[in-house]
Structure 1
Amino acid sequence: MTDLDVHTHLAPINAARLEGLPGVRWLPEQPALELDGHRVGVRALFEPAHLLEWMRTHAIARALVSIPPPLYRQHLPEEQALEWARYVNQELLAVCARSEGRLSAMLHLPLEHPGLLARLIEEHQDTPFGGVAIAAGGHPSIVYSDAHYAPLWEWLNDRGVFTFLHPGACADTRLARFYLENLLGNPYETGVAASHLVLAGIPARYPRIRFCLAHAGGAFTALVGRLQKGFDTQRPGVDLGVEPPLQAARRFYADGIAHHPAGLRLAREVLGQDKLLFGSDWPFPMGLEKP
């Protein structure tokens, strides 16, 4: 049996509450969730029982569940973003509470609005949850090395929280063709986020945060050697007072969604064998259908 799947998604549906949220429409007959004109129609996202059955079929004991990127809604103004974050967190916690311990919710924290983080953290001081999921980009204001995230890192460190970095949207318009926003943009965004953490010395400063990188570490595992070279040759702007990049990389966890044995071997070599965790990206086709 696989003890844990760290990368699964659900879109929690409470039809009565959704009716009062601007820009949101639940279409039960399809079923689909319409968000700001964009339709999310992956049926399994709305069916926690489907996830539990898939877990039973593949002997997976427990899963960490986060909302999928189409539900991040990173363009929302601050007050709407707060209302939306409260909805998805409360409803995802409720879904997981009905799973008899099989599912654990990862809280959604909208990093594009740093001013909201303290309010959301305060609301969940006593909440039992499985971790937090934060967007590795998708909005120009999300720069992980910025000082305004220090209170968040302190809270996560104090509680030893499992912190999942999952890419949101990629703003590079060149990636609009060929599904490249996902195929290339996702690992790129994770690489940018992890690089900011490492070069700002955040993993060493907050060692109890269990940072986990989606998609086998994305581009980070392929590029951390280049970060190390910049550190060793004292490139302009590189802070030599932080932990060296290759050493800092050993503090990260990653799921195993590499889609090629060489990518998985690279993640194992860079991060360490004990830092690779099973993740399926259920129920999306870019994930792993079988453990």
Structure 2
Amino acid sequence: MITENLNPGVIDVHAHWLPRELFDLPGTGPHGVMHDRDGELYLGDIPLSITTSSMSDVPAILDDMRRADVGVRVLSAPPFAFPLESGTEADSYVAEFNSALSTVVAGADGALLGLGMVTLSDQASVTAQMTALAGTEGIAGVAIPPLANGQTLDGPALRHVLTEAARLDLAVLVHPMQLPRPEWSQYYLTNLIGNPVESTTAIASLILSGIKDSLPGLRICFVHGGGCAPGLLGRWTHGWTMRKDVRRATTRPPQEIFAELYFDTVTHGSDQLKLLCEVAGTGKVVCGSDYPFDMAETEPARFAVEHGPGRDALIAAARAYLGKES
């Protein structure tokens, strides 16, 4: 629930934060234990190439915002903290994170907003957690992975989250998890290819399953410029036109539904951002940074303003996505 005034300036909807007391990640997910090693953050034995303070310390986040000319930053958990298993441990982790996040944003005088976390296996727990988020000042919505229990957004777990988000008027941010696959074991391909593919699959399922048709008020954003989706939209439309199995769940072509979704500007290229603006429409493109990771856009406001839809359009789109229209 956003009731306070936001700081002026560009709004960065895609940035990460996790307090040090929650570095002990929930469940037995595919990633190693997160820990500090001489001031640097590691996930198992993998260096994340960022300082621990940049992930967990609010003054470091605010300093980076001033440096990058960002007026408001929307914080969500890093994707490896998403609890993929049900049970008491997951529920406790979610409760602790959401409580800590609400405290941080409440004390930031309009500079920070939050996207909370939910468990993904038990629908009753999800409903309770999201209802609580909807009543928490400074929390604009929820961040989720694109995959749960081997199914993407049209599976029962994530579809329930989307349904509840629409009912409660919460924004949804979909962030890939960088899941390992044997053919992506080298060259950081789990990120360079895996992350965009995870997002692309989720976007296709949302469009072709008819979920967005059934939830017209759903405000949902896909990070990293929507992955590969902008470049594949023509192929999806051709398939929808030619094949009954592709169009069986929706009567609208993919391009029409695609233009109802939000996407951030973390494309790592001006040509890629230009394509995104062309196919999504400038009213659906919002500034993102992916702070504090090594794949972040270090000058998010400058890049988005110079190569994207412009400062005023970026701010208006972010406010609309967050449910805080002028």
Same-fold status (TM-score > 0.5): yes
What CA distance in whole angstroms lies between the structure 1 residues aligned with 2:87 and 2:47? 23
How much has 1:234 moved relative to structure 2? 2.2
How much has 1:185 moved relative to structure 2? 0.5
Distance 1:249 1:177, change over 3 A: same
> Amino acid of the residue matched to residue 11 of structure 1?
L
Stretch of structure 1 that moved more, 141-150 or 32-41: 32-41
- Whether contact under 8 Å (2:141, 2:170) holds in the other structure is yes
Distance 1:31 1:22, change over 3 A: farther
What CA distance in whole angstroms lies between the structure 1 residues aligned with 2:277 and 2:219? 17
What CA distance in whole angstroms lies between the structure 2 residues aligned with 1:276 and 1:251? 11
Distance 1:226 1:114, change over 3 A: farther
How much has 1:118 moved relative to structure 2? 2.0
Distance 1:116 1:177, change over 3 A: farther
Asked whether 1:49 is paired with 2:56, we answer no
Distance 1:78 1:224, change over 3 A: farther
* Pairing partner for 2:243 from 226, 234, 237: 234
Distance 1:185 1:34, change over 3 A: closer
- Counterpart of 1:284 in 2: which secondary structure? coil
Asked whether 1:72 is paired with 2:64, we answer no
What CA distance in whole angstroms lies between the structure 2 residues aligned with 1:28 and 1:190? 29
- Whether contact under 8 Å (2:17, 2:56) holds in the other structure is yes
User: Counterparts in 2 of 1:169-184, with a 5 A limit?
Assistant: 169-184=178-193
> Amino acid of the residue matched to residue 132 of structure 1?
V
User: Counterparts in 2 of 1:1-291, with a 5 A limit?
Assistant: 2-14=9-21, 30-31=38-39, 42-43=51-52, 44-74=54-84, 76-111=85-120, 114=123, 116-128=125-137, 129-137=139-147, 139-147=148-156, 149-236=158-245, 238-239=247-248, 241-290=250-299, 291=301
> Amino acid of the residue matched to residue 115 of structure 2?
M
- Counterpart of 2:243 in 1: which secondary structure? coil
Stretch of structure 1 that moved more, 203-212 or 177-186: 203-212
Distance 1:266 1:28, change over 3 A: closer
The C-alpha deviation readout for 1:2-56, integer Å capped at 9, x for no partner, is: 4301111111234xx879x888989678446777887866321011111111112
The C-alpha deviation readout for 1:41-88, integer Å capped at 9, x for no partner, is: 6321011111111112232211110011232253x4433222211121
Distance 1:241 1:131, change over 3 A: closer
What CA distance in whole angstroms lies between the structure 2 residues aligned with 1:130 and 1:45? 20
- Counterpart of 2:294 in 1: which secondary structure? coil
State the percentage of identical aligned residues.
Answer: 24
Distance 1:151 1:13, change over 3 A: same
What CA distance in whole angstroms lies between the structure 2 residues aligned with 1:145 and 1:226? 20
How much has 1:148 moved relative to structure 2? 5.0
> Amino acid of the residue matched to residue 58 of structure 1?
A
> Amino acid of the residue matched to residue 64 of structure 1?
V
What CA distance in whole angstroms lies between the structure 1 residues aligned with 2:18 and 2:219? 24
What CA distance in whole angstroms lies between the structure 2 residues aligned with 1:18 and 1:169? 18
Stretch of structure 1 that moved more, 33-42 or 255-264: 33-42
What CA distance in whole angstroms lies between the structure 2 residues aligned with 1:25 and 1:286? 21
Q: Which runs of 5+ in 2 are unaligned?
A: 1-7, 302-326
> Amino acid of the residue matched to residue 77 of structure 2?
I
- Whether contact under 8 Å (1:7, 1:63) holds in the other structure is yes
TM-score normalised over the length of structure 1? 0.86
What CA distance in whole angstroms lies between the structure 1 residues aligned with 2:101 and 2:284? 27
TM-score normalised over the length of structure 2? 0.78
What CA distance in whole angstroms lies between the structure 1 residues aligned with 2:75 and 2:178? 19
How much has 1:114 moved relative to structure 2? 4.5
